[in-house]
Structure 1
Amino acid sequence: MSRQKTESEVARTTGRLGPAERADNWRRLGSEEFDVVVIGGGVTGAGTALDAATRGLRVALVEARDLASGTSSRSSKLFHGGLRYLEQLEFSLVREALRERELMLTRLAPHLVKPVSFLYPLTHRFWERPYTAAGLFLYDTMGGARSVPGQKHLSRAGALRMVPALKRNALIGGIRYYDAQADDARHTMTVARTAARYGAVVMNSSQVTGFLREADRIAGVRVRDVETGEETEVRAQAVINATGVWTDELQRLSGGRGRFRVRASKGVHIVVPRDRIVAESGMILRTEKSVLFVIPWGNHWIVGTTDTDWNLDLAHPAATKADIDYILEHVNTVLATPLKHDDIEGVYAGLRPLLAGESEETSKLSREHAVARVAPGLVAIAGGKYTTYRVMAADAVDAISGDVAGRMAPSITDRVPLLGADGYHALVNQADQLAAEHGLHPYRIRHLLDRYGSEIHDVLALGDERPELLKPIPAAPNYLQAEVAYACSHEGALHLEDVLTRRTRISIEYAHRGIDCAEPVARLMAEVLGWDDARVAREIEVYTQRVDAERDSQLQPDDQAADAKRSAAPEAREKLTEPIS
């Protein structure tokens, strides 16, 4: 006899994170006992939840703000093999990163992770080409040329044909190589949804306020729903702290001493229109401190990054005028037509969680990660790099094997495609038919496929009863209105900033930074989330104040002044308190 599926069962099959699933997940947090609670909804926490769930463990993932709201939405958006780590003789890290990149490109997330080419301009005669070629040969041999083309040597004329934007005297030749890129926020959210598909309880806007103890061991966490103010206790055999730059704060909250400390290094990127740099390839440029990337990003370029210590607000790192000037100054040394401040459409600042004590220069800190069992029932993981999140997650789950009853299965996430990967390649070949069926241009279907993969059917289905949802968002035509509704019904978006900054990237891809489409987007969200007019008005006001604060911070001369401006904006999640998980 058939029966109707419960909300929990639907969520487990689809990975849906909508309002009904959120209510059910909150009930489950307080009523079930878990094998492991993972704190932190960045890529490491989401990856840890997926790893644990696919080993057959009962898993809860809690995040105080939004999925990927910290470091995991503010990276250079590269799945890169770590070419520059070869110079630091980090061979095992490069080999590991290249293997992970290959898995993402071919098996786990081909809909989200794509090849991208870079030109490395040569500026020194005689020694630089053979030196760089030797490094790239080693890189290609270790896996850098698997699934993507290997290095290609170019004369000055050939390099200038590939990147006409370069000054003729800025190079004597070049070498092209390939890496991979992804929308980091979408990728992290998809990892979390895949964990939900395999049974994990995934809850954003859920702040850890304390730890539960039984005798000398950690036995779970106290959690506050920062949307409603409700609190509950979540029982678990083990807790994993995967909070990145908040690792030390959570460690203090647990009452124990950590085995390592985490330093925050600020990285700033700017976004400019594609036509401001005439090029068929991205670029990687050496600076006196590190490297500067010019990365193709749809109709835009992302240029960055900086690398400086940050000791202020961890939730809202602020870019300064000095940061932006640094990027412009260095990229303009090679561009025939310099970039100006007026060319900038978007700016974002993120914090890298680096293991403290290894070096005073953040750009030279090892990107290896560390896992420590800091108390019975409590494990912390920190460091590492986005590309190797899956390896970090497996190590973190391995570390709780002594806390969880029964034999633990080995990690299998190298064989678990992310939500939307299955069937993606066939759908790419069917893009023209899909376009005709839904009255859309094929380029629009391909854009959606590279954001949702085979989940595109659920997005397009929203237009069956309401055809207007398949029209572009006013003032943000790269995105459809259906994507806003889907972000709320399936992807866990709870606030206007969640949609404008992470489910889409409107906040950095348009010069208005989302202000011009805030009202129509908020109205679309209201239909799914049940907002009244007062709530719509508040969401628009809070988001507008956020954008104004960010713009003001980017005119300030130093971190302290920029932090003061950015911190003045209100939180979308009003009931958050410090320390934040």
Structure 2
Amino acid sequence: MTPYSYHDRPILLRQLATEEFDLVIIGGGITGAGIALDAVTRGLKTALVEKKDFAYGTSSRSTKLIHGGLRYLKQLEFGLVKEVGSERAVVHALAPHLVVPEKMLLPLSEKKGLGYWLTSIGLKVYDLLAGVKAEDQRKMLTKAQTLRHEPLLKKDDIKGGAIYAEYRTDDARLTTEIIKTAVSHGAVILNYTRVLEFQYAAEKVAGVMVDDELTGERYTIKAKTVVSAAGPWVDELRDINKSKSGKRLHLTKGVHIVVPHSRFPVKQAIYFDVEDGRMIFAIPRGRITYIGTTDTNYNGDKDEVFTSPEDAHYLIQGVNATFPSVGLSVADIESSWAGLRPLIHEDGKSASELSRKDEIFESPTGLISIAGGKLTGYRKMAERVVNLVIKNHFQQKTLKPSQTQKLWLSEKHFANTRQVKDFARELQRRLAPLALPDHTAAYLVENYGYQAEAIVRRAEIGASGEPSADLALLKAEWWHCVHGEMVCTLQDFFIRRTGLSYFNRQRVLQWQDAMAAEGKTYFKWDDARVAQELTDLNTFLDSLTRFRTAPF
């Protein structure tokens, strides 16, 4: 594990404040992370700053699928389907533990959707455009076969179905691994570093003034070029640069809710129509099933995006209409997340109709901004941005072509899915004496890959000294994330490195005090800081289910 710790911050800060970079990237989501990795591995001296934590915004709040864009066929965006379809295969090959094959069931109804034959043709086109391997190409199902795949479906409505290929991921973990890989190649990357204003030379952007959110220190980073990959905040930075003209962002909100798998025990991932013509996912993940997403216009606070009562009821009603025997209620929701899509505004189009294509803006001062796009297409988006940076500033510099198509996203990597499964079985065998839940090994491998072995080894050693093997494991994860993944707060750990706030909220509540004590040990937090960390974490946890007490 390459050291990448809170304790490295003074060294990284000194580098940012004293050296000049070829490129500074603003934004530590999937797009910024991808740009940093592409740029540094081509030979550009690269820095990245993020105002909060990595993947704080959209990149920890997606549907968590590296998907091929089936819905874009309806919008006739064939080029987008082809690009994201081929890209998901690339990303799966680079990190098969993080990008996991997931067969998706598409039930076909008498009253909704495109119909059996149009769906069959559409999925065939999808397979061709996305370059799906023969063994994973769509398989059409009869009504009986569809109901065997998912007995919970409303039987009277079903006339058939289809199975097609998707890939599941954890968006925040993917972002983290890309950042760690960029760091291992020499990029200087720091979270909790807010850009306050741009620096100029001869009326061209020549750097940024930033504020360290943890220490209050303010300093300037010098750079030959600056790229803004700030997602929903792109237009704010264009305002600071006095270059927001022409096209602008159109923010839409997507919400996901989390219920116990025992309350909604779908046998596999499923993508189904709802009454308003949209489609939503239900995806089993260990002990839970998560459901999403909504697509509504958003004009509120970009730092405070939450699930509303209307959002929750919309998704619950969609499930109950298609799976009437389940009988979900809002009270079943354990957690939720709400994220913003930074789309490009198009007059006269609804939130669901807006294109998911990315777009690059260039200002007269040389600031390059990128917005739009999809999680799946992060690598190609990064490649296009770096190509433009090189064209504008570094044509005379000897640089490598883009390396990221074959660049593994871990120091020790899996060659294929079979190796991932074999490793997970071995970890499960080792974990058996600790009597942890059955899904623990899969969770660890999908989160950390081969790095899970060191975490398990540490948990085995520590288990005898803890009141619970579960706490020993959590402390082992904390150790890994603090030393190798730039965790600075309890929220960094519980939300974006482990996903526990979304997928196992009760475990967070059970062990938050113990982990705050770990912060005292690792970070020398005083009692006031510990109290503030716990207050901030619980305020966030409360926000995930606030809709349950709101009137509707």
TM-score (normalised: structure 2): 0.92
RMSD (Å), alpha carbons = 2.5
For residues 510-541 of structure 1, the C-alpha deviation after alignment (integer angstroms, 9 at most, x for no partner) is: 35483332211222233222223332222112
Are 1:286 and 2:276 an aligned pair? no
Question: Secondary structure of the equivalent of 1:219?
Answer: strand
2:95 partner amino acid: A
Structural mapping, 1:73-92, within 5 Å: 73-92=60-79
Aligned residue in 1 for 2:511: 517
Q: Would the alpha carbon gap of residues 127 and 434 (structure 1) be closer, same or farther in structure 2, given more than 3 Å must change?
A: closer
Once the two structures are TM-superposed, the CA of residue 423 in structure 1 deviates from its matched residue by: 4.0
Cα 1:291–1:377 change in 2 (3 A) is same
Counterpart-to-counterpart distance in 2, 1:222 and 1:35:
16
Q: Residue type of the partner of 2:281?
A: F
Please, which of 95, 98, 104 is the counterpart of residue 85 of structure 2?
A: 98
Could you tell me which of 29, 43, 65 is aligned with 1:56?
Answer: 43
Partner of 2:475: 481
Relative to 1, partners in 2 of residues 1:526 and 1:369: Cα closer, same or farther, differing over 3 Å?
same
Output the CA distance in 2 between the equivalents of 1:65 and 1:392. Answer: 22
Is 1:452 equivalent to 2:438 in the alignment?
no
Measure the CA separation in 2 of the matches of 1:79 and 1:267.
16
For 2:103 and 2:348, the matched residues in 1 are separated by: 31
What SS does the aligned partner of 1:312 have?
coil
- Give the whole-Å Cα distance in 1 for the aligned partners of 2:108 and 2:425: 42
Residue 429 of structure 1 corresponds to 422
- Paired with 1:225 and 1:374, the residues of 2 have a C-alpha distance of 26
Are 1:343 and 2:339 counterparts?
Answer: no
Q: Matches of 1:504 and 1:417 in 2, distance apart? A: 21
| Aligned residue type for 2:27 | G
C-alpha contact 1:241 1:250 (8 A) present in aligned 2: yes
Which residue of structure 1 lines up, in the alignment, with residue 528 of structure 2? 534
1:444-496 per-residue CA deviation (whole Å, 9 max, x = no partner) reads: 4443222111223443454476445896445xx9x632112211121111111
1:562 is matched with none
Change (3 A) 1:496 1:388: same
In structure 1, C-alpha distance between the alignment counterparts of 2:523 and 2:450, rounded to whole Å: 25
2:196 corresponds in structure 1 to 209
Contact 1:319–1:554, Cα closer than 8 Å, also in 2: no
Q: Secondary structure at the match of 1:17?
A: coil
Choose from 104, 116, 129 the match for 1:118: 104
1:112 Cα deviation (Å)? 0.2
Contact preservation (8 Å) 2:265, 2:289: no
Note if contact 2:335-2:544 (Cα within 8 Å) is conserved in structure 1: no
C-alpha separation in 2, matches of 1:554 and 1:264:
25
Q: What SS class does the counterpart of residue 400 from structure 1 fall into?
A: helix
Q: 2:12 aligned with 1:16, yes or no?
A: no
Are residues 435 and 172 of structure 1, via their aligned partners in 2, closer, same or farther at CA, if it must alter by over 3 Å? Answer: closer
Judge conservation of contact 1:81–1:144 (CA < 8 Å) in 2.
Answer: no
Number of the residue aligned with 2:407: 416
Report the 3-state secondary structure (helix = DSSP H, G, I; strand = E; otherwise coil) of the residue aligned with 1:180: strand
Contiguous gaps of at least 5 residues in structure 1: 1-13, 559-581
- The residue that corresponds to 1:299 in the other structure is 287
The question of whether the paired residues in 2 share the 8 Å contact of 1:263 and 1:353 is answered with yes
Residues 274, 434 of structure 1: alpha-carbon distance in 2 compared, 3 angstrom cutoff: closer
Alignment of 1:394 onto 2:387 = no
Distance 2:491 2:277 in 1: 33
Change (3 A) 1:550 1:433: closer
User: What is the CA-CA distance between 1:256 and the residue it aligns to?
Assistant: 2.5
State whether structure 2 residue 163 is matched by structure 1 residue 176. yes
Q: CA deviation at 1:273?
A: 1.2
TM-score by length of 1: 0.87
Q: Deviations over 1:44-69 (max 9, x none)?
A: 01111011011111111100000001
Query: How many matched pairs?
Result: 541
Q: Which residue number corresponds to residue 403 of structure 1?
A: 393
For 2:16, the equivalent position in structure 1 comes to: 29
- Counterparts of 2:152 and 2:426, CA distance in 1: 38
Q: Where does structure 2 lack aligned partners over 5 or more consecutive residues? A: none
Alpha-carbon distance in structure 1 between the residues aligned to 2:280 and 2:118: 19
Question: Quick one: structure 1 residues 160 and 265, their matched pair in 2 at CA, closer, same or farther if it must change by over 3 Å?
Answer: same
From 106, 109, 115, the equivalent of 1:128 is: 115
Query: Does the 8 Å CA contact 1:294/1:301 hold for their aligned counterparts?
Result: yes
Deviation at 1:360, TM superposition (A): 2.8
Q: Deviations over 1:320-371 (max 9, x none)?
A: 1011011111111111222111211111111011001254301111111111
Q: Which letter does structure 2 place at the counterpart of 1:50?
A: L
Counterparts of 1:265 and 1:127, CA distance in 2: 25
Residues 211-242 of structure 1 deviation map (CA, whole Å, 9 limit, x = unaligned): 11101100000111100000111000000000
Aligned to 1:579: none
Post-superposition offset of 1:291: 1.2
1:72 aligns to 2:36 (yes or no): no
**Cα distance change on mapping 1:445 and 1:269 into 2, 3 Å:** closer
Asked if the contact 2:199–2:209 (Cα under 8 Å) also holds between the matched residues in 1, the reply is yes
Q: What is the aligned counterpart of 2:154 among 167, 173, 185?
A: 167
Identity %: 36
The aligned amino acid for 2:538 is T
Contact 1:358 1:365 in 2 (8 A): no
The amino acid that maps onto 2:294 is T
Partner of 2:124: 137
SS at match of 1:157: helix
Structure 1 residues 305 and 421 mapped into 2: Cα distance closer, same or farther (>3 Å)? farther
Distance change in 2, residues 1:90/1:512 (3 Å): same
CA distance in structure 1 between the aligned counterparts of 2:166 and 2:461, rounded to whole angstroms: 41
- The 3-state SS of whatever aligns with 1:337 is coil
CA contact (8 A) 1:259 1:372 kept: no
Cα distance between partner residues in 2 of 1:157 and 1:75: 33
Mapped pair 1:506 → 2:492? no
Match of 1:354 among 343, 354, 374: 343
The alignment partner of 1:111 has SS state of coil
Stretch moving more, 268-277 or 281-290: 281-290
